[in-house]
Amino acid sequence: MAQYKMHLLVCGGTGCRASESEQIVENLKSEIKNLGLENDAQVVTTGCFGFCEKGPIVKIIPDNTFYTQVKKEDCAEIIREHVLKGRKVSRLLYEDPETQKHIEDSKHMGFYQKQMRIALRNCGFIDPENVDEYIARDGYAALGKILSEMTPEEAIDILKKSGLRGRGGGGFPTGLKWEIASKNKADQKYVVCNADEGDPGAFMDRSILEGDPHSIIEAMAICGYCIGASKGIVYIRAEYPLAIKRLKVAARQAREYGLLGEQILGSDFSFDIELRYGAGAFVCGEETALIHSMEGLRGEPTVKPPFPAEKGYLGKPTNVNNVETFANVPAIYLKGTEWYSSIGTEKSKGTKVFALAGKINNVGLIEVPMGITLREVIYEIGGGIKDGKKFKAVQTGGPSGGCLTEKHLDTPIDFDNLIAAGSMMGSGGMIVMDEDDCMVSVAKFYLEFTVEESCGKCAPCRIGNKRLHEMLEKITSGKGVPEDIEYLKNLSRVIKDTSLCGLGQTSPNPVLSTIENFYDEYLAHVTERICPAGSCKALKLYTIIADKCTGCTACVRACPVDAITGEKRQPHVIDPDKCIRCGACYEKCKFTAIHVQ
Amino acid sequence: MNKIKSLEDLRKMKQNLEHGMNIREKSNEPESLVQIRVAMATCGIASGARTVMNTLVEKIEKEKIPAVVTQGGCMGYCYAEPTIEVRVPGKDPVVFGYVDSAKAIEIVEKYIVNGELLDGIIPTNYKTINDKN
Q: Is residue A573 part of a domain?
A: yes
Does some domain include residue B55?
yes
The helix/strand/coil state of A70 is coil
Task: Categorise residue A351: left if φ over 0, alpha if ψ from -120 to 50, beta otherwise.
Answer: beta
Interface check B72 vs A, CB under 8 A: yes
Are residues A296 and A359 both part of a single domain? no
Cβ neighbours for A344, distance < 8 A, ≥ 6 positions apart: A163, A350, A351, A369, A370, A371, A414
- Secondary structure of chain A: what % helix, strand, coil (to 5)? 45, 15, 40
Distance from CA of B118 to the nearest CA of A (A): 26
In chain A, what residues touch B37 (CB-CB under 8 Å)? 86
> Which of A85, A113, A117 best probes binding to B when mutated, by most B CB atoms within 10 angstroms?
A85
- The two beta strands, A573-574 and A564-565, are antiparallel
Of B10, B24, B31, which has the smallest distance from its Cβ to A61's Cβ?
Answer: B24
Domains held by chain B: number:
1
Q: Which residue of A has its CA nearest to B10?
A: A141
Asked whether residue B133 carries a pLDDT value surpassing 50, the answer given is no
- The CATH number given to whatever domain includes residue A549 is 3.30.70.20
Residues in chain B within 8 Å Cβ distance of A82 = 71
CA–CA separation, A468 and A458 (whole Å): 16
> In this structure, what DSSP letter does residue B123 have?
P
CB contact under 8 A, B10 and A140: yes
Residue B126 pLDDT: 62
A80/A227 same-domain check: no
- Bridge-partner residues for A430, per DSSP? A356, A396
B17 touches chain A (CB under 8 A): yes
Q: Which DSSP string corresponds to A193-261?
A: EEE---STT--HHHHHHHH-HHHHHHHHHHHHHHHT--EEEEEEETT-HHHHHHHHHHHHHHHHTTSSB
Structural domain contains residue A123 = no
Tell me which residues of chain A have a pLDDT lower than 50: 1
- For residues A310 and A167, membership in a common domain is answered with yes
Could you tell me the CATH number of the domain that includes residue A88? Answer: 3.40.30.10
Is residue B13 included in any domain, yes or no? no
CA distance B27 to A206: 26
* Global confidence as pTM: 0.88
For residue B12, the chain A residues in CB contact (below 8 A) are none
DSSP string, B59-103: HHHHTT-SEEEEEE---S-GGG-S-EEEE-TTS--EEE-S--HHH
Residues A380 and A255 in one domain: no
**pLDDT for B131 beyond 80:** no
- Check B27 against A257: CB less than 8 A apart: no
**Of B2, B13, B73, which is closest to A86 when you measure between CB atoms?**
B73
How many structural domains is chain A composed of?
5
Range of the domain at B109: 30-131
Res B128 pLDDT > 70: no
List the single residue in A86, A107, A144 with the smallest CB-CB distance to B10: A144
Instruction: Report whether A430 contacts A395 (CB < 8 A).
Output: yes
pLDDT of residue B1: 66
Residue A255 lies in a domain: yes
- Among A132, A255, A267, A333, pick the best mutation site for testing chain B contact (most B Cβ within 10 A): A132
Q: Do B5 and A265 touch (CB under 8 A)?
A: yes
Residue A87 sits in the same domain as residue A40: yes
Q: Between A and B, how many residue pairs show a Cβ–Cβ distance under 8 A?
A: 113
Question: Do the domain assignments include residue A1?
Answer: no
What ipTM score was computed for the predicted complex, to two decimals? 0.82
Please name which of A506, A582, A505, A503 lies closest in space to residue A542, comparing C-alpha atoms: A582
Nearest CA in chain A to B17: A136
| Cβ contact, residue pair A148, B57, below 8 Å | no
Residue at A450 is within a domain: yes
The Cα B52–Cα B47 span in angstroms is 10
d(C-alpha A63, C-alpha A7), whole Å: 10
Smallest CA-to-CA distance from A246 within A270, A197, A210 is with A210
pLDDT, position A52: 86
How far apart (Å, rounded) are the C-alpha atoms in residues A576 and A442?
26
Please check whether residues A18 and A35 belong to one and the same domain.
yes
Quote the crossing angle between the two packed helices A152-162 and A323-335, to the nearest 10°: 100
Helical H runs in A295-385? 323-335, 337-341, 374-375
Residues A310 and A181 in one domain: yes
The pLDDT confidence band at residue B125, using thresholds 50, 70 and 90, is low
Q: Answer whether residue B86 shows pLDDT above 60.
A: yes
**Which of B9, B19, B21 to mutate to test binding with chain A, by most A CBs within 10 Å of its CB?**
B21
- Does any domain span residue B68? yes
Radius of gyration over every alpha carbon of chain B, rounded to an integer in angstroms:
17
How far apart are the CA of A60 and the nearest CA of chain B, in angstroms? 10
Is A443 in the same domain as A430?
Answer: no
Measured distance CA(A320)–CA(A302) in Å, rounded: 15
Q: Considering CB atoms only, which of B17, B40, B61 is closest to A135?
A: B17
Nearest CA in chain A to B72: A86
Asked if B18 reaches chain A (Cβ–Cβ under 8 Å), the answer is yes
CATH classification at residue B125: 3.40.30.10
The answer to whether the Cβ–Cβ distance between B6 and A61 falls below 8 Å is no
Residue A145: list chain B partners with CB under 8 A: 7
* Residue B39, strand partner residues: B72
In a domain, B19, yes or no: no
Whether residue B48 lies inside any domain: the answer is yes
Query: Does A231 lie in the same domain as A137?
Result: yes
Residues of chain B with Cβ-Cβ distance to A9 below 8 Å are 24
Neighbours of A52 (CB within 10 A): 25
In which domain, by residue range, is A523 found?
439-528
Q: Kindly report the backbone phi and psi dihedral angles of residue A554, in degrees, each rounded to the nearest multiple of 5, phi listed first.
A: -60, -40
Q: Where are the alpha helices (DSSP H) in A477-592?
A: 483-498, 502-506, 509-517, 519-523, 554-558, 584-588
Residue pair A356/A430 in contact by the 8 Å Cβ criterion:
yes
> What CATH code is carried by the domain that includes residue A494?
1.20.1440.230
What residues are paired with B95 via a beta bridge? Answer: B85, B122
Mark whether A138 and A243 lie in a shared domain: yes
Same domain, residue pair A293 and A196: yes
**Domain-located, residue B24:** no
| Contact status, residue A432 vs residue A387, Cβ threshold 8 Å | no
Transcribe A279-310 into DSSP letters: ---GGGGSHHHHHHHHTTS-S----SSSPTTT
Single-letter residue type at A379: Y
